[in-house]
Structure 1
């Protein structure tokens, strides 16, 4: 079972708490701006959701410590056909490997 819409933010020390009233298995997806996003597979972050492991919330507390890596970046500018800079509130891009 994938729990959608449950979001948490870490504090200044990186700690987070995700509460659930269910003990059904869940899969954790991590997204953090300038860091590589992915799915928790029980020991590390993986890009493949099918490799994600089920985590089962327990009575009390289940502790999952994750390490995430800085993402690579590409920067530049966006201009219209006449060369005027285009101001967007956000620009979404997808980077895929050149070989596939």
Structure 2
């Protein structure tokens, strides 16, 4: 069980972004984000969006680097994944 981060590859606002998730609980994810100084506004339902310049710092703080595919699989398997379909059907 871990906090996971994928490589920065998602372009927006002039930079690339990573996703930070927990494969255990949202409490674990929020605690990690608070300790790392990630603002609450970066949270998007099941993950935090973090800019590329924070990647190395978050890995040094304990986030496990994984591929995008592994991140999605582990998040889905944890039961914490929120999809567009989940949103439409109210969870």
Q: Settle same-fold status: TM greater than 0.5.
A: no
For the pair shown, which has the larger CA radius of gyration, 1 or 2? 1
Structure with higher helix content: 2
TM-score (norm 2): 0.26
Structure having the larger proportion of residues in strand: 2
Greater relative contact order (CA < 8 Å, ≥ 6 in sequence): 2
